[in-house]
Amino acid sequence: MNSVTNIGRNGIQDWIIQRVSAYVLAFYTLFLLGFFVTTDVDFQIWSALFDQSWFKIFTLLALLSIGAHAWVGLWTVSTDYIKSAMQRFLFQAAFILVILVYVVWGIQIIWGL
Protein backbone atom coordinates (compact mmCIF):
# COMPACT_ATOMS: atom_id res chain seq x y z
CA MET A 1 0.00 0.00 0.00
CA ASN A 2 1.42 3.39 -0.95
CA SER A 3 0.68 6.17 1.49
CA VAL A 4 2.08 9.58 2.26
CA THR A 5 2.10 8.63 5.95
CA ASN A 6 4.42 5.66 5.40
CA ILE A 7 8.04 6.20 6.56
CA GLY A 8 9.70 3.96 4.02
CA ARG A 9 8.87 3.75 0.36
CA ASN A 10 8.05 0.07 0.62
CA GLY A 11 7.56 -2.74 3.10
CA ILE A 12 11.23 -3.75 3.09
CA GLN A 13 12.32 -0.33 4.30
CA ASP A 14 9.69 -0.37 7.04
CA TRP A 15 10.85 -3.86 8.03
CA ILE A 16 14.46 -2.64 8.22
CA ILE A 17 13.45 0.44 10.27
CA GLN A 18 11.53 -1.83 12.64
CA ARG A 19 14.45 -4.25 13.07
CA VAL A 20 17.20 -1.62 13.41
CA SER A 21 15.17 0.38 15.93
CA ALA A 22 14.47 -2.81 17.89
CA TYR A 23 18.21 -3.54 18.10
CA VAL A 24 18.98 0.02 19.23
CA LEU A 25 16.29 -0.21 21.92
CA ALA A 26 17.53 -3.63 23.03
CA PHE A 27 21.14 -2.40 23.36
CA TYR A 28 19.99 0.71 25.22
CA THR A 29 17.88 -1.38 27.60
CA LEU A 30 20.69 -3.87 28.20
CA PHE A 31 23.15 -1.04 28.85
CA LEU A 32 20.83 0.61 31.38
CA LEU A 33 20.10 -2.73 33.04
CA GLY A 34 23.82 -3.44 33.32
CA PHE A 35 24.46 0.07 34.61
CA PHE A 36 21.83 -0.29 37.35
CA VAL A 37 23.02 -3.77 38.34
CA THR A 38 26.72 -2.85 38.55
CA THR A 39 26.44 0.68 39.95
CA ASP A 40 25.02 2.09 43.14
CA VAL A 41 23.08 4.81 41.35
CA ASP A 42 22.40 8.11 43.02
CA PHE A 43 21.70 11.54 41.56
CA GLN A 44 25.36 12.46 41.09
CA ILE A 45 26.19 9.24 39.23
CA TRP A 46 23.05 9.47 37.09
CA SER A 47 23.79 13.11 36.31
CA ALA A 48 27.42 12.29 35.48
CA LEU A 49 26.25 9.62 33.05
CA PHE A 50 23.99 12.10 31.26
CA ASP A 51 26.75 14.73 31.22
CA GLN A 52 28.72 12.55 28.79
CA SER A 53 28.13 13.39 25.13
CA TRP A 54 28.27 9.76 23.97
CA PHE A 55 25.44 8.83 26.31
CA LYS A 56 23.35 11.81 25.23
CA ILE A 57 23.79 10.69 21.61
CA PHE A 58 22.98 7.08 22.55
CA THR A 59 19.85 8.27 24.39
CA LEU A 60 18.86 10.46 21.43
CA LEU A 61 19.28 7.48 19.11
CA ALA A 62 17.08 5.40 21.44
CA LEU A 63 14.47 8.17 21.53
CA LEU A 64 14.39 8.44 17.73
CA SER A 65 14.23 4.65 17.53
CA ILE A 66 11.20 4.60 19.82
CA GLY A 67 9.50 7.15 17.60
CA ALA A 68 10.28 5.29 14.37
CA HIS A 69 9.43 1.88 15.84
CA ALA A 70 6.11 3.14 17.21
CA TRP A 71 5.22 4.86 13.97
CA VAL A 72 5.88 1.83 11.76
CA GLY A 73 3.87 -0.35 14.12
CA LEU A 74 0.96 2.09 14.37
CA TRP A 75 0.96 2.65 10.61
CA THR A 76 0.84 -1.09 9.97
CA VAL A 77 -1.97 -1.70 12.45
CA SER A 78 -4.00 1.30 11.27
CA THR A 79 -3.73 0.37 7.58
CA ASP A 80 -4.76 -3.20 8.40
CA TYR A 81 -7.70 -2.46 10.69
CA ILE A 82 -9.04 1.03 9.93
CA LYS A 83 -10.70 0.79 6.54
CA SER A 84 -12.12 4.31 6.25
CA ALA A 85 -9.49 6.57 4.68
CA MET A 86 -10.56 9.63 6.70
CA GLN A 87 -10.60 7.79 10.03
CA ARG A 88 -7.22 6.23 9.25
CA PHE A 89 -5.77 9.62 8.29
CA LEU A 90 -7.07 11.24 11.49
CA PHE A 91 -5.74 8.37 13.62
CA GLN A 92 -2.34 8.54 11.94
CA ALA A 93 -2.20 12.35 12.13
CA ALA A 94 -3.00 12.26 15.85
CA PHE A 95 -0.24 9.73 16.52
CA ILE A 96 2.25 11.63 14.34
CA LEU A 97 1.57 14.66 16.52
CA VAL A 98 1.94 12.66 19.75
CA ILE A 99 5.20 11.04 18.60
CA LEU A 100 6.56 14.40 17.42
CA VAL A 101 5.72 16.04 20.76
CA TYR A 102 7.42 13.22 22.68
CA VAL A 103 10.54 13.33 20.50
CA VAL A 104 10.87 17.14 20.73
CA TRP A 105 10.24 17.02 24.47
CA GLY A 106 12.82 14.24 24.86
CA ILE A 107 15.41 16.25 22.90
CA GLN A 108 14.77 19.23 25.17
CA ILE A 109 15.25 17.05 28.25
CA ILE A 110 18.38 15.29 26.95
CA TRP A 111 20.19 18.38 25.67
CA GLY A 112 18.77 20.88 28.18
CA LEU A 113 17.35 23.19 25.54
Instruction: Give me the helix-helix angle, 53-81 and 11-38, nearest 10°.
Output: 140
Q: How far apart are CA 84 and CA 8, in angstroms?
A: 22
Summarize pLDDT for 40-69 with one digit per residue, the tens: 999 999 999 999 999 999 999 999 999 999
Look at phi and psi of residue 104 and say left if phi exceeds 0, alpha if psi is from -120 to 50, else beta: alpha
Average pLDDT taken over every residue of the chain: 90
Contact 58, 64 (CB under 8 A): no
Give residue 4's pLDDT. 52
Is a pLDDT exceeding 80 seen at residue 2? no
Confidence of residue 5 (pLDDT cuts 50, 70, 90): low
pTM, 2 dp: 0.83
Report the alpha-carbon angle 69-24-16, nearest 5: 55
pLDDT of 101 higher than 80: yes
% of the chain at pLDDT higher than 90: 81
